[in-house]
Amino acid sequence: MPEIPDLEGYRAYFNRRLPGLRVTAATVTIPIVVRAPKEEFAARLSGNVFSPVERRGKYILFPFQSGDCLVVHPMLAGRFQYCQSSQKRQAKTAFVLGLENGMELRYFDERLMGKAYLARQEEFAQKVPRWSEMGPDTMSPELSAEGFVAWLRTFRGQIKNVVTTERCLAGIGNAYADEVLWEAGIHPYRRRTELSEEALRHLYRALRLVMEWATPIVAERMEREGLPTDEYRDHLRVHRRGGQPCPRCGAAISEITAGQRITSFCRKCQA
């Protein structure tokens, strides 16, 4: 599942290429993914010009100079292509935007779980499901340590479940939750109510540190190697490293699968 570093990588990649470009053709190829009628999608986007790409939580936003915005939630398997129009399309390509420079922006989704919405900013709450229910974006400059601590105190449950709940924090998924909790030295199955204010402040710092560390790595690889068909995860220090030595203390990393989700952590230095 794309998380903040992946989506920020996309944002940086597209912002070097799309702003100011005109869409020459807009085609829906899998209607179940694009939550707008084919004819409306084509009419509103054809001839439109890209503004700078944005992100909120796990959504990537493609605004246009007309005020329309293409809002994409990739879910588990949604990916993008930016390529020559002559290049073979990926299986399950859901929409294609032809561009005036001869390139195409494509979205494909092996599981067809992701969704794309066409809306103006004032319509997001109405047209994008759960948009208004999202908690603060993890990297929002408006989210202070004090605000983070106060907000998390309104949630109960195991701390990994809390930080990956979109109503709590927008943008954190399974992989980076493991990295953040390892950075903070917090056991993923500790209950939020067991954590002191100091521990929650430490968690806030860990969130920012991990995102600020990982995002440039992912963005640089996208720029150098092109858009991936899967997420870049080989730089992660704990997630999916079961049995390998902990980078901090050397103990073997534990790995537990529950509810179709893998959790990786160090039993020795995450208390």
pLDDT tens digit sequence for 38-88: 999 999 999 999 999 999 999 999 999 999 999 999 999 999 999 999 999
CB 243 within 8 A of CB 159: no
Confidence of residue 103 (pLDDT cuts 50, 70, 90): very high
Alpha-carbon distance of 231 to 224, in angstroms, equals 15
Q: How far apart are the first and last CA of the chain?
A: 27
Give the pLDDT score at 194: 97
Interstrand relation of 68-73 and 59-63 (parallel, antiparallel or unpaired): antiparallel
Look up the pTM and report it.
0.95
User: Nearest CA to 203 among 169, 241, 231?
Assistant: 169
- Say what percent of the chain tops pLDDT 90: 98
Cα 236 vs. chain centroid, distance in angstroms? 16
* DSSP category for residue 133: G
Mean pLDDT, all residues of the chain: 97
The amino acid sitting at 34 is V
Give the pLDDT score at 162: 97
- Say what percent of the chain tops pLDDT 70: 100
Give the pLDDT score at 259: 80
CB 14 within 8 A of CB 53: yes
Q: What is the pLDDT of residues 135-189, one digit of tens each?
A: 999 999 999 999 999 999 999 999 999 999 999 999 999 999 999 999 999 999 9
Give the pLDDT score at 212: 97
Give the pLDDT score at 55: 98
Domains identified in the chain and CATH numbers: 4-133 (3.20.190.10), 145-265 (1.10.8.50)
